[in-house]
Structure 1
């Protein structure tokens, strides 16, 4: 029964996404590039990450998702010592322009550093854990990790450190700005499962 529910949800989610994706995102790529200078130190000039692997890659990310996260940092719904301050002066147009720029950049493929751990993560990503009620990650993020606009982000190629950090934050309810869906899922995951799926997604293409 569990795999059937996943398949049904997966199909419905992509059908909804197909309709939503037809709406053109309003953002100026050139203007976003000009505004992205302050972001480069942490996220890289092209959005492929800075020196610290716990900082996220933004390249190729779903623009609506990026706007939501920036708005949440600005409002305090999501908190981070650095990002809260960076988002504070941004207008809605600034957020849309930055999102458009990063969405237009090509993410550089990552790679799993631990093959055995990645294989364990793949089983969770694709099949979840029926015993503990953990849904398959691909139900919302897609079989290749490209996400479903506008709500579910792209996870392919993201650093394992960043993904693990965010899943642990969801698990502990330190982060709860995404309709509590990830909070509920991450809460049911063991720390070992979180580490494994984070490793797998780092090399997912």
Structure 2
């Protein structure tokens, strides 16, 4: 099993190296940057997050999508329990223009690197949200992708990067457990359709392009259900 995983990862890395100049992000994980995030001040981050509550919730739980006057309001991502490096990177990517969103770009432009580190520390300190999705009929599709991947399509198991419990990794791989399914699905589709491109070395774009839409939906519900 481990040998198969290594082969899959090597196959995925090969095209990544060929596109190394297309990192999609100006963030460089230097020793200084890593130290900055690691030493983020939770209390200062909590204070800064007061202005984030209206969208991301009092405890960073985000908001589910809802229908208002026949119009669907898309989900707002949960930030609680997120890997600090990942949150920091997203805020700086908005600041640098490597990721675009009218509201978040404007907010990030007003944050210093230290502010971003403090906010990242605060949200990482909060417990991950616990959420459930009612429809579980297709979760078996997701379980296979998470545990086994698909060697024929050069897709490694999701857990290799995102962890057995969807907890992410300390460098810049996000936690997925408890994330709103609608937001998760929109994110993968954005990578798949080249609408989002701030993944370093095109990692998620290469993977998302190989995923079928029903697999993306299933994965979104699988990870929202994960505790």
Q: Could you say which TM-score interval applies, normalised by the shorter chain?
A: 0.7 to 0.9
Once the two structures are TM-superposed, the CA of residue 92 in structure 1 deviates from its matched residue by 0.6
Partner of 1:183: 205
Task: Look up the match of 1:4.
Answer: 3
Counterparts of 1:83-102 in structure 2 under 5 Å?
83-102=104-123
Q: Is the 8 A contact 1:27 1:97 kept in 2?
A: yes
- Count of paired positions: 193
> 8 Å contact 1:7–1:139 — kept in the other structure?
no
Quote how far apart the aligned CAs of 1:136 are: 1.2
Pairing 1:193–2:215 present: yes
Query: Once structures 1 and 2 are overlaid, which stretch shifts more, 79-88 or 177-186?
Result: 79-88
Partner of 1:14: none
Which of 42, 51, 54 is 2:55 aligned to? Answer: 42
Distance 1:190 1:51 in 2: 23
Report which stretch shifted further, 155-164 or 45-54: 45-54
**Which moved further from structure 2: 51-60 or 146-155?**
51-60
Counterparts of 1:125-136 in structure 2, within 5 Å, are 125-136=146-157
Question: Matched residues in 2 for 1:195 and 1:76: separation?
Answer: 28
Partner-residue secondary structure (3-state), 2:128 = coil
Mark the runs of 5 or more structure 2 residues left unpaired by the alignment.
10-33, 66-73
Deviations along 1:30-86, one digit per CA (max 9) or x if unpaired, are 111111111111111110113546211000111111100000011110111211111
Distance 1:36 1:50 in 2: 16
In 1, the alpha carbon distance for the partners of 2:64 and 2:219 equals 22
Query: Aligned with 2:121: secondary structure?
Result: helix
Supply the distance in 1 between the matched residues of 2:210 and 2:96 (Cα, whole angstroms). Answer: 28
SS of residue in 2 equivalent to 1:115 = coil
1:62 partnered with 2:61: no
Q: What is the root-mean-square deviation in Å for CA atoms of aligned residues?
A: 2.1
**Is contact 2:81-2:128 (8 Å) kept?**
yes
TM-score by length of 2: 0.79
Structure 1 188/8 Cα, relative in aligned 2: closer, same or farther at 3 Å?
A: closer
Structure with the greater alpha carbon radius of gyration? 2
Contact 1:40 1:50 in 2 (8 A): no
Q: Does 1:203 align with 2:216?
A: no
Q: Would the alpha carbon gap of residues 113 and 4 (structure 1) be closer, same or farther in structure 2, given more than 3 Å must change?
A: farther
Q: Distance in 1 between matches of 2:45 and 2:205?
A: 31
Unpaired runs of at least 5, structure 1:
11-21
SS of residue paired to 2:45 = helix
| TM-score relative to the length of structure 1 | 0.87
